[in-house]
């Protein structure tokens, strides 16, 4: 494996012991589902990490080639099951691109609300389980308590909490029910203290900093080489977010919204004075920064949801018309990447004039993000492996598809 990364942490050893091959997962508490890592260790030092995937493979793409575009929406829920709304959005917009559909403003506003709520809930899980990976149980419950409230909102909007299937090609399945916006605003109003709690028990906790700062440092070049996207890429200081830099069809969804792309460009975050301070020990691209980017994105997403609610209130009429279940797809192909919470989620669809796509493909961000794990873990300690894997925020449903 050739990388430009500096030599891994050198550990002086006067006694060389036998190497131990350990199987971490698929039933390991901190592999976030069914990831299997084979570690080669010398004492506590990890010399090699080999990820094995495929334990959650459900032939999602092949199923997509046997059902219609509208029928495949529930399968996208199950890709990144922690951010089903964002998966729906990616597929819906790809199909719309193939069909050449344009959506009313109201549908776009609802989609932004849902996508950003999905991002908040996904990042909350990431932060909570990251605490769990480092041995701190309490932040997990703080994060999940707030996530439950977001799931309540999803349930009120579409009837499902986890697998929403709410955003479909052509719009959304139903308009927001009466009183939903107020419920959402009430959630946002009481949410900030929890974020501060998480900053107190994790972000600025001395032990947390010692466990994550300068651990698993990912340089910007390596991140780009391995195709890392999302918070993993931005944590390395690359200023790249599809909501701002994506292709026009997706960028247009966020046109007119005020938000920052959270990345430590030259070591500084935009509007850094509003956020908790960056500790001295942290190096751009380390696990701490990947975690921190997510936490700040939560605050950005809150602001985006508020702006989208305002925009929604200014519109009327139905939020788009969902395509028919048996809608025929035209000949041709479309590919679109969206900024999902975990990274750039791309969908491709090839139509052949029938209602069933000829080819469906999902490009997983977690797959690329996982591919860099062996580089980051090499030379670290056994305890650093969960610290690095957790900071990549992997969901195996999306990797294995």
Partner 1 sequence: MAEFLADYLSPPWVAELAAAGVHCALLLALVLTAAAAFTWAERKVSGRIQDRLGPTRVGGRFGWLQSPADGLKLLAKEDLMPKDADAMLFRLAPYLSFCASFAVFVALPLGDNWVSLRMSTGVFFFLAVAGLEVFGVILGGYASSSKWSLFGAMREAAQVVSYEVPLAMCVVVPVMVAGTMDLVAIGEHQSGWFGNWLIFHDPFTLLTFFVYLTCAVASVNRAPFDLAEAESELVAGFLTEYSGFRWSIFFMAEYASMLAVSILASILFFGGDNGPIPVAGWLGLTHRTGPLAGYLGNLLGMVNILTKGTLGVIFMMWLRWTLPRLRIDQVLTTCLKYCIPLAAAMFVGAMLWTFVERGGFSGDWSIFRSESDLREEASAENMDLSPSVAHERGGLSP
Q: Give me the residues that bind partner 1 (CB under 8 A), please.
A: 20, 22, 28-30, 43-44, 131-138, 141-142, 145, 201-202, 205, 207-208, 210-211, 381-386
- Residue among 1 and 10 whose Cβ is closer to partner 1: 10
- Residue among 211 and 311 whose Cβ is closer to partner 1: 211
| Minimum distance of partner 1 from residue 142's CB (angstroms) | 7
- Residue among 133 and 393 whose Cβ is closer to partner 1: 133
- Spatial contact of 330 and 96, defined as CB atoms under 8 Å apart: no
- Residue among 329 and 377 whose Cβ is closer to partner 1: 377
| CA–CA dist 80, 131 (Å, integer) | 20
- Residue among 217 and 309 whose Cβ is closer to partner 1: 217
| Minimum distance of partner 1 from residue 339's CB (angstroms) | 29
Cα dihedral 30→32→34→39 (10° resolution)? -40
Residue given tokens 């090839």 in the structure block: 350
- Spatial contact of 125 and 144, defined as CB atoms under 8 Å apart: yes
- Residue among 230 and 386 whose Cβ is closer to partner 1: 386
| Minimum distance of partner 1 from residue 394's CB (angstroms) | 15
Order of strands, sheet of 45-52, starting from the edge strand that comes earlier in the sequence: 20-24, 36-42, 45-52
| Minimum distance of partner 1 from residue 125's CB (angstroms) | 15
| Minimum distance of partner 1 from residue 358's CB (angstroms) | 44
- Residue among 142 and 254 whose Cβ is closer to partner 1: 142
| Minimum distance of partner 1 from residue 118's CB (angstroms) | 24
- Residue among 90 and 131 whose Cβ is closer to partner 1: 131
Residue given tokens 């009466």 in the structure block: 178
| Minimum distance of partner 1 from residue 377's CB (angstroms) | 12
| Minimum distance of partner 1 from residue 9's CB (angstroms) | 10
Using left for φ > 0, alpha for ψ between -120 and 50, and beta otherwise, residue 170 falls in: left
| Minimum distance of partner 1 from residue 383's CB (angstroms) | 5
Closest CA to 258 of 222, 300, 293: 300
- Spatial contact of 397 and 162, defined as CB atoms under 8 Å apart: no
How far, rounded to the nearest angstrom, does the alpha carbon of residue 326 sit from its chain's CA centroid? 31
Half-sphere exposure of 300 (CA within 13 A, CB side): 24
- Residue among 138 and 183 whose Cβ is closer to partner 1: 138
Closest CA to 93 of 176, 171, 174: 171
């Amino acid at each position: 494996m050739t990388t430009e990364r500096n030599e891994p942490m050198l550990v002086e050893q006067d006694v060389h012991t036998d190497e131990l091959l350990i199987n971490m997962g698929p039933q390991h508490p901190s592999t976030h589902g069914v990831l299997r890592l084979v570690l080669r260790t010398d004492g506590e030092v990890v010399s090699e990490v080999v990820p094995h995937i495929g334990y959650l493979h459900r032939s999602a793409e092949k199923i997509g080639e046997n059902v219609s575009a509208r029928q495949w929406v529930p399968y996208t829920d199950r890709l990144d099951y922690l951010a089903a709304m964002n998966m729906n959005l990616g597929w819906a917009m790809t199909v719309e691109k193939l069909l050449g559909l344009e959506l009313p403003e109201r549908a776009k506003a609802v989609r932004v609300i849902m996508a950003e709520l999905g991002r908040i809930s996904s990042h909350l899980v990431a932060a909570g389980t990251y605490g769990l990976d480092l041995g701190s149980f309490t932040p997990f419950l703080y994060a999940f308590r707030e996530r439950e409230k977001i799931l309540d909102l999803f349930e009120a909007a579409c009837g499902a909490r986890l697998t929403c299937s709410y955003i479909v090609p052509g719009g959304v399945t139903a308009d927001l029910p009466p009183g939903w916006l107020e419920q959402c605003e009430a959630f946002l109003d009481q949410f900030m203290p929890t974020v501060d709690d998480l900053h107190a028990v994790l972000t600025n906790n001395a032990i947390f900093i010692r466990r994550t700062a300068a651990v698993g440092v990912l340089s910007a070049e390596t991140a780009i080489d391995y195709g890392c996207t999302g918070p993993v890429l931005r944590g390395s200081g690359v200023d790249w977010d599809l909501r701002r830099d994506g292709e026009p069809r997706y960028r247009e969804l966020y046109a007119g919204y005020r938000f920052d792309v959270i990345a430590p460009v030259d070591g500084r975050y935009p509007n850094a004075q509003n956020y908790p301070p960056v500790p001295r020990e942290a190096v751009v691209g380390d696990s701490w920064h990947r975690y921190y980017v997510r936490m700040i994105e939560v605050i950005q997403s809150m602001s985006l949801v508020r702006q989208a609610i305002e925009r929604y209130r200014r519109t009327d009429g139905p939020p788009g018309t969902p395509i028919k279940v048996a809608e025929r797809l035209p000949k041709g192909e479309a590919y679109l990447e969206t900024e999902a919470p975990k990274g750039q989620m791309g969908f491709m669809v090839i139509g052949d004039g029938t209602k069933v796509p000829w080819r469906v493909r999902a490009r997983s961000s977690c797959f690329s993000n996982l591919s860099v794990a062996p580089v980051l873990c090499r030379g670290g300690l056994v305890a650093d492996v969960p610290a690095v894997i957790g900071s990549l925020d992997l969901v195996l449903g999306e990797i294995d598809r």
